[in-house]
Amino acid sequence: MPQSREFTVANVSLTGPERDYDEIVTFLDHTFRLVRVGTSGDVDAASALVSSWASRANAIAVTGAREARAVGLYDGELDAIDSIRQATTEVPVTDGHALGEVLQEWAIRHLQAEKPGYLSNARTVVLGGLNHARTTRLIRQFTDNIEFADPLLRFDLPAKVAGNPVLGMAVDAALWPTALLPSMVKSRIQAPGAKVSTALARKASRDADVVVATYDELVAFGLEDLAGKTLISSAISDERLAELGDRGVDLVLDSVPQPFPVTVTAAVLEAMMHALVGDGQLTDDDLLEMIVGAGLEPRVLYPNGWRRKSRFAFVIHPLSPRFFSQVEPLGTITRVSPQVVNDAIEKAVAYAPPFIYSHVTGIKSPTGAEAEGWLITVGGTPKELMAHSPEFTYARLLQAADMARKLGAQVMGLGAFTKVVGDAGVTVAKQASLPVTTGNSYSASGALWAAREGVRQLGIAEVDDGGVLRGKAMVVGATGAIGSVCSRLLAFACDELWLVSPETAKLLTLKREIEREKPRATVYVATTPDEQLADMDVIVTATSGAGKRVLDIMAVKPGCVITDVARPLDLSAEDVAKRPDVLVLESGEIELPGDVHVRNIGLPPNVVYACMAETVVLALEGRYETFTVGRDIEWQKVKEIYKLGLKHGMKLAAISGHNGVFTPDQIAEIRDLALKARAAAEGGSDDDAVPIQQSDDASSS
């Protein structure tokens, strides 16, 4: 590399003169005069400028053919750049292709490194043509959801031709007569295909997450709705960045570093590098050395402040035939049809393909992260799912996963019975086209969260300053996926724990595993809960009995707190109504952050089931991974998802039961009835039954 001296680089562009400059800058400790001259699509003028600058410049950059054609300044062939470059051989003349290829790939890899998973399954629209080929190839590693405005790229013809020499020769021979035609004639021949492809790309762009385009291509394409989108582009000036921000763009990835007061293209930077090597060949090693030496990096720009929006899908299904009343035309049919017809509908709907039940929007974490999603329903009720083989459900879940992928979802959750049937998501996770989670980790966390809040609000059971229940707890369905984790965590939060399950061998194994962890509680096992019910302060039911009776609620201790995690519920509304002195909670529903818009799922506004909340948390955190599948849940993951939920503003929803959210008056009534029942059982007066008060520390543990 020569000693420090002054260089001149001219940029001859086929775009307009509005961005022309004449600037003195420093690059790699050398002084450069950078001059830009726009010709507004005039190829002859551009060639003349290259010839005239050859005696005054150390290198020349020729740019703008695609951009000029995009905005209507030029209607000729793109290879006009080559003819302009050939106007002189006195100095290096470059279109920036070598450096541009490196910068395009680096920009994509840089974005993925800075924001892991950002492009995963992103719905992407590529405007322009082969100038984005390197970018497109890289994006394909992360998503198949790509649409093209260029008809050749829409059918991936360049890649197919390049991969098949014989096909390439045939295509060249077929296109040879076309190459001889005037530009205007060729444009008319190509117009119908380009028009159709452009229309398809414009339609796809409405829902796109990522747009790949130069600024001029973006303007020419006429995209108005850019709100919430990511733009992958190059050479974005401050003025253009502000304009993109006004149009709602979330993130701009600029592949061309901008180390100077003026906005330069990759061709200008490459021309500067050519000037520095002089008469020698600019090698790949030279490129690397200068990129590193100058501290050049792609730019990740946030015109409206830091933002990240992730996408999820969640699979739901009708918990009972009553669900059909919310979906037309089934609602009308089921309301006027006899039961025999409704039974037939229930069977038939189980075979229906998945469909989108609701688009979920408005989820916003305190961190600034946002998430949108889709509720995808499979038609089988628990009765129908259990009546078929697991493979029947697997097939529908994989259909749902494919639908979720096409929608752009980056992670998918399984709800209610779909996470119980078969191997609890293992097969689906292996075969699905995107990461899958059952949500069982957050379901377990939510169950205990709800139980603790129920104990706190009821105020009867004794809880020490560390939040430990000074009494007895029971898990019915302890060997199940959620039950086993609840058992492990409760073993550290109570004095005595009973594990109940008909699976004796699994029960003994679970007991031994818990005891190895040196819990606080003394652990007991039983195949049925009946004999111990009267002594329990807290009960968690987590069976998959599909509506079968799992315990005798009449035998439960007055003032007991029961959290029913099972879906369908283990305890019927009729059973619960028999014990107004017992607090029965429907698991731990979670309140999402933000102003959430979602179709009715039978819960209060902003409130969702914990298994769905796990999917949302993973999306907000950018953890597009298979988090919870299978029967064995890691209790470390239960704690992790709980902490991540708090980070993103998740709250335990107001505790609720069969009849909705419990009010303070209802809790007080349950408490009074429980105290009276205990007093009557002990033969004392109501005044003798005074609950142990909890400290503020205990209530916040």
So what's the pLDDT on residue 552?
93
> Does pLDDT of 74 surpass 90?
no
- Among the residues of 318-389, which ranges form H helices? 330-336, 339-349, 382-387
Concatenated DSSP letters for 507-552?
A: HHHHHHHHHHT--SSEEEEES-SGGGGGG-SEEEE----TT---S-
Question: Token digits for 299?
Answer: 């730019």
pLDDT band at 636 (very low <50, low <70, confident <90, very high): confident
- In whole angstroms, give the CA distance from residue 70 to residue 48: 23
CA neighbor of 62 nearest in space, from 10, 19, 133: 10
Average pLDDT over residues 414-438: 84
pLDDT band at 42 (very low <50, low <70, confident <90, very high): very high
Domain positions in the chain: 6-95, 442-590+655-699
Q: What predicted TM-score, i.e. pTM, was given to this entire model?
A: 0.78
> Does pLDDT of 41 surpass 90?
yes
The residue to which tokens 């993925």 are assigned: 112
Domain 442-590+655-699 CATH (choose: 3.40.50.10860, 3.40.50.2000, 3.40.50.720, 3.40.50.150): 3.40.50.720
Lowest mean pLDDT among 102-106, 215-219, 594-598: 215-219
The values of phi and psi at residue 375, to 5°, are -90, 120
Pairing of strands 660-661, 561-564: unpaired
Average pLDDT over residues 538-556: 83
The H or E element containing residue 160 is helix 157-162
> Does pLDDT of 683 surpass 80?
no
- In whole angstroms, give the CA distance from residue 257 to residue 556: 70
Residues in the chain: 701
So what's the pLDDT on residue 603?
84
- Among the residues of 546-609, which ranges form H helices? 573-577
> Does pLDDT of 523 surpass 90?
yes
Q: How remote is the C-alpha of 449 from its chain's centroid? A: 26
Question: Token digits for 119?
Answer: 């492009």
The residue to which tokens 């991540």 are assigned: 644
For residue 6, the cross-strand partners are 31
- In whole angstroms, give the CA distance from residue 247 to residue 241: 10
Lowest mean pLDDT among 198-207, 229-238, 391-400: 198-207
Is the separation of the CB atoms in 404 and 412 below 8 Å?
Answer: yes
So what's the pLDDT on residue 195?
53
- In whole angstroms, give the CA distance from residue 363 to residue 372: 7
Percent residues over pLDDT 90 in the chain: 57
CA neighbor of 369 nearest in space, from 167, 609, 650: 650
- In whole angstroms, give the CA distance from residue 190 to residue 212: 22
- In whole angstroms, give the CA distance from residue 701 to residue 696: 9
- In whole angstroms, give the CA distance from residue 86 to residue 101: 22
The H or E element containing residue 667 is helix 664-682
> Does pLDDT of 185 surpass 90?
no
- In whole angstroms, give the CA distance from residue 653 to residue 446: 10
Lowest mean pLDDT among 18-22, 72-76, 496-500, 542-546: 542-546
Q: Which tens digits make up the pLDDT trace of 616-625?
A: 999 999 999 9
CA neighbor of 210 nearest in space, from 297, 308, 101, 65: 308
Is the separation of the CB atoms in 486 and 440 below 8 Å?
Answer: no
So what's the pLDDT on residue 392?
85
Q: Which tens digits make up the pLDDT trace of 85-141?
A: 889 989 999 999 999 999 999 999 999 999 999 999 999 999 876 788 889 989 999
Q: CA dihedral defined by 105, 108, 109, 114, rounded to 10 degrees? A: 150
pLDDT band at 696 (very low <50, low <70, confident <90, very high): very low
- In whole angstroms, give the CA distance from residue 349 to residue 43: 64
pLDDT band at 242 (very low <50, low <70, confident <90, very high): very high
The residue to which tokens 């879906």 are assigned: 567
Pairing of strands 308-316, 411-414: parallel
> Does pLDDT of 156 surpass 60?
no
> Does pLDDT of 594 surpass 60?
yes
Q: Is the peptide bond before 366 cis (omega within 30 degrees of 0)?
A: no
- In whole angstroms, give the CA distance from residue 266 to residue 470: 70
On average, the pLDDT of the chain sits at 85
> Does pLDDT of 298 surpass 80?
yes
Question: CA of 42: how far to CAs of 16, 266, 282, 305, 658, in Å?
Answer: 10, 22, 29, 40, 75
Q: Which tens digits make up the pLDDT trace of 313-368?
A: 999 877 555 655 666 565 565 555 666 665 666 677 778 889 999 999 999 999 99
